[in-house]
Amino acid sequence: GLYLAFLDALRAEGLPVAAGVFQAMMAVELVNDGPVTLILDRDAAPPPGATP
């Protein structure tokens, strides 16, 4: 498919590529290395005419 062709194209350029399983459980680690961390969280868009 298109995804695998894209990975192959990246590998052909000599880039290190790893692939995984779609929707698999993943352990993600975050290192905050900067002066500020912003957490953006939004449940849903406000209804038309509402003040955000």
- Position 4 in a domain: yes
- The region, left, alpha or beta by phi > 0 then psi within -120 to 50, assigned to residue 49 is left
- What is the predicted pLDDT for the residue at 38? 83
Question: Structural domain of residue 23, as residue ranges?
Answer: 1-41
Number of domains in the chain: 1
Residues near 10 by Cβ (< 8 Å), separated by ≥ 6? 17
- Position 1 in a domain: yes
- What is the predicted pLDDT for the residue at 49? 84
Cβ density class 7-44: b for 16+ within 10 Å, e for less: eeeeeeeeeeeeeeeeeeeeeeeeeeeeeeeeeeeeee
pTM over 0.85: no
Can you give the pLDDT of all 52 residues of the chain as single tens digits? 898 999 999 999 999 999 888 788 888 888 888 888 888 887 777 778 887 6
- Position 49 in a domain: no
- Position 14 in a domain: yes
- Position 31 in a domain: yes
